[in-house]
Chains A and B, each alone.
Chain A
Amino acid sequence: MNDERRLPGRIDLKRGAVDMSHGSGGRAMMQLIEQVFLPHLGGEAAIAGNDFAAFDSEPGRMVVATDAHVISPLFFPGGDIGSLAVHGTINDVAMAGAVPRLIAASFVLEEGFPLADLDRIAASMGEAARAARVPVVAGDTKVVERGKGDGVFITTTGIGRVPEGIAIAGDRARAGDAILVSGTMGDHGVAIMSKRENLAFDTELRSDTAPLHGLVAAMIAAVPEIRCLRDPTRGGLATTLNEIARQSGVGMRLREAAIPVRDDVGAACEFLGLDPLYVANEGKLVAICPAARAETLLAAMRADPLGRDATIIGEVVADEHGFVQMETVLGGNRMVDWLAGEQLPRIC
């Protein structure tokens, strides 16, 4: 926005805090938008000042996905709620095999939240969106009284287009298909846990939060026959595989020894009594494809930096019960069940 049209008065980005007027629809709100959000997120559409963003549609199948982010703590090793909100929605769109085009974001701010932190989050969102080449084109801000929120909640909605001839969905897995993961499991969840006030432990570990649409595009180019893609976020790999097994009416057989888990993540999970298969990821995906195409897909994944540690972890089997089973490192068998209860709240 050019300077002559900007409302007068600077908000105090160093020491200021969100107050109720920032959500009132009045001048304070406009200042917040102009001085915090637009400098970081403002694309052409946002600058127009409308409550909507218009864009030209293309022929073909479109995908829409929405994702609310309530993570605690807001800033964590490897990212923050801003970058996570961009990546999370890009990934949801990308898991349809779609090319994400744009994002809309809505913020719920708690009265008293430091404007400096909000600025940092908006900057991180902007940076993540530019790096991913998926602009944030529309937004909304609301403020709730102190004690009624937890700093900031961000909901993002993404829209993308599915390339011609691609049909990826959770109900398409077939007995005999191969199951692949793009890298190590549990990094995000353990990185978050390491910063929780009542758990804090020392680790170099960082969240794996990353946009996966580039990896997905490379995978689709190599193997258009991919049947299912999903990012194993809350509930981890175990929950994601159970979802797909249920949707597709199949079972799965995994090999524990083939599932990549970082040493430090494995150690932290041992220590905390967690199973890395149930811990959240934010920059990893699960892919299912016909067995004959698995090696080609694996090579395409490993050629991308975000799929460097990809492996084939098992296969889809016929099973009327829809059980996900696993051969343990020891050589026995167990089920890999749905997550029961809540392993760790507020992880994304």
Chain B
Amino acid sequence: MRAGVKYVDEFRDHDVAAGLASRIAAEVDTSRTYRLMEFCGGHTHAIHRHGIQDLMPANVDFIHGPGCPVCVLPMARIDAAIELAERHGVTLLTYGDMMRVPAGGRRSLMTAKAAGADIRMIYSTQDALEIARRNASRPVVFFAIGFETTTPPTAVALKTAAAEGLTNFSVFCNHVLTPAALRQLLEPDDGDRVEVDGFLGPSHVSTVIGSRPYEVFAEHYGKPIVITGFEPLDVMQATLMAIRQLNDGRHEVENQYTRVVTRDGNRRAQDLMDEVFEVRASFEWRGLGDIAASALKIRPAFAAFDAEQRYDLTPSRSRDVKGCECPAILRGQKKPEDCRLFGTVCTPETPMGSCMVSSEGACAAHWSYGRFRSDGDTADRAA
């Protein structure tokens, strides 16, 4: 076990952090601000959990991006998953974070489970296949969510199921594509653009897709993008790299996470995804609306394992809770404490919006780790 997760402390070293903090302080141009969007929820979590904001000069601001898999899934897709479990009587399997995400009618997978639906939390797609094998007489559906990081394992599960003839298994596919979300942030259909100076780019997603897909954004929109690891020192070093680019007037894709990410990414994983999935014409994102070519669906060759076709699911339009600012927060246009629901009716125990559910969500991270920073009003709500 130990050998498998070595180098944890090395990436959380106090002295190295202090060194990076003083470099950043020395190099920032005090006459301007640096608005850096960390795309991934993993970065949002790391920034809050390790108190990185405290090590930054006042003019360096982290804007939390939409890269939280459960946060961007629209309510209608969760309603459809509940329908699968309740109306079609399937055993529904999903990753833990999905369980508490609010669905329509103040429901969630967890409340549906409590009401008797067979909904189970799993840790890997291998668990999903095993449950299907052991329950051959029951229909078993894997509720697949996530960006390019979790997509290859779903592809493997579909190929395995096809090879084994595991006919009781199918996948409700909700996998989404990172570059499409980035494009929507930089050039939204409604013109309501996010004000950011640069990006801290995804870590795990980039191990799969590589750094090349971001190059067009850096060039076309003139924004530096620094691919960044999830450890706190990664985030600090990448911040320094982004600041240097902005100071130099550069806008390049730089790779801080060279120990894992290459320019071309993981070709085998890409091939696997391409074999099993094709791009949807359009997909609804929570907060970002409908985005063309932004998600994957299962190819016709694997149609027998596609829950959307097998159960004739046609998710309706989503209607978010009134007053919930998740859409603006996911676009980096508002901060959690700007939402009137934050800390009043919306808390991790009773989330109204998806950003309050996952530890990667901006609201949950601010609530759990950072609300002492808020001025009187929010802190009072929080007490």
**Contact surface of A with B, Cβ cutoff 8 Å:** 198-199, 201-203, 257, 263-264, 266-268, 270-271, 273, 275, 320-323, 325, 327-335, 337, 340-341
Is B53 part of the binding interface, using a Cβ–Cβ cutoff of 8 Å? yes
A340 contacts B348, C-beta separation under 8 Å: yes
Q: What A residues does B13 contact at CB under 8 A?
A: 329
Encode contact with A along B348-361: 1 for CB under 8 Å, 0 otherwise.
Answer: 11000000000100
Q: A199-B123, A323-B372 are in contact. Are A332 and B52 (CB under 8 A)?
A: yes
Which residue from B49, B53, B100, B380 sits with its C-beta under 8 Å from A321?
Answer: B380
Q: In the bound complex, how far is the Cα of B382 from the Cα of A257, in angstroms?
A: 26
Q: How far is the CB of A211 from chain B (nearest CB, A)?
A: 28
**Contact surface of B with A, Cβ cutoff 8 Å:** 1-2, 4-6, 8, 12-14, 17-18, 21, 48-55, 100, 122-123, 127, 232-233, 347-349, 359, 364, 367-372, 379-380, 382-383
4 closest A-B pairs by beta carbon, nearest first, are A332-B51, A340-B348, A332-B54, A267-B5
Q: How far is the CB of B80 from chain A (nearest CB, A)?
A: 23
Nearest A residue to B379, CB-CB: A321
Q: In the bound complex, how far is the Cα of B2 from the Cα of A264, in angstroms?
A: 6
Q: How far is the CB of A250 from chain B (nearest CB, A)?
A: 12
A340 contacts B21, C-beta separation under 8 Å: no
Nearest B residue to A326, CB-CB: B51
B51 contacts A328, C-beta separation under 8 Å: yes
Q: How far is the CB of B141 from chain A (nearest CB, A)?
A: 18
Of A270, A325, A337, most B-chain CB atoms within 10 Å: A337
Q: How far is the CB of B260 from chain A (nearest CB, A)?
A: 15
B50 contacts A330, C-beta separation under 8 Å: yes
Q: In the bound complex, how far is the Cα of B380 from the Cα of A322, in angstroms?
A: 10
Known: A266-B8, A267-B5. 19 other contacts (CB 8 A): A198-B127, A201-B1, A203-B1, A270-B5, A271-B5, A321-B380, A323-B372, A329-B50, A330-B52, A332-B50, A332-B51, A332-B53, A333-B372, A334-B48, A335-B368, A340-B348, A340-B368, A341-B348, A341-B349
Q: In the bound complex, how far is the Cα of B49 from the Cα of A333, in angstroms?
A: 8
B383 contacts A335, C-beta separation under 8 Å: no
Q: A198-B122, A321-B382 are in contact. Are A267 and B2 (CB under 8 A)?
A: yes
Nearest A residue to B17, CB-CB: A330
| Chain B facing A: main interface SS | helix
Q: In the bound complex, how far is the Cα of B1 from the Cα of A199, in angstroms?
A: 13
Q: What B residues does A329 contact at CB under 8 A?
A: 12-14, 50
Q: What B residues does A266 contact at CB under 8 A?
A: 8
B18 contacts A331, C-beta separation under 8 Å: yes
B372 contacts A325, C-beta separation under 8 Å: yes
Which residue from A203, A263, A322 sits with its C-beta under 8 Å from B383?
Answer: A322
Q: In the bound complex, how far is the Cα of B55 from the Cα of A334, in angstroms?
A: 12
A331 contacts B54, C-beta separation under 8 Å: yes
Q: What A residues does B12 contact at CB under 8 A?
A: 329-330
Nearest B residue to A343, CB-CB: B96
A332 contacts B55, C-beta separation under 8 Å: yes
Of B18, B50, B122, B348, most A-chain CB atoms within 10 Å: B50
Q: How far is the CB of A156 from chain B (nearest CB, A)?
A: 28
A264 contacts B383, C-beta separation under 8 Å: no
Interface pairs (7), CB distance under 8 Å:
A263-B2, A321-B382, A327-B51, A330-B12, A330-B17, A334-B49, A337-B368
Q: What B residues does A328 contact at CB under 8 A?
A: 49-51
Q: A198-B127, A328-B51 are in contact. Are A267 and B232 (CB under 8 A)?
A: no
Q: In the bound complex, how far is the Cα of B12 from the Cα of A332, in angstroms?
A: 11
Q: In the bound complex, how far is the Cα of B17 from the Cα of A257, in angstroms?
A: 14
Q: What B residues does A321 contact at CB under 8 A?
A: 372, 379-380, 382-383
Q: What A residues does B232 contact at CB under 8 A?
A: 330
Q: What A residues does B8 contact at CB under 8 A?
A: 266-267, 270
Q: What B residues does A268 contact at CB under 8 A?
A: 1, 5
Q: What A residues does B372 contact at CB under 8 A?
A: 321, 323, 325, 333, 335
Q: How far is the CB of B371 from chain A (nearest CB, A)?
A: 6
A334 contacts B1, C-beta separation under 8 Å: no
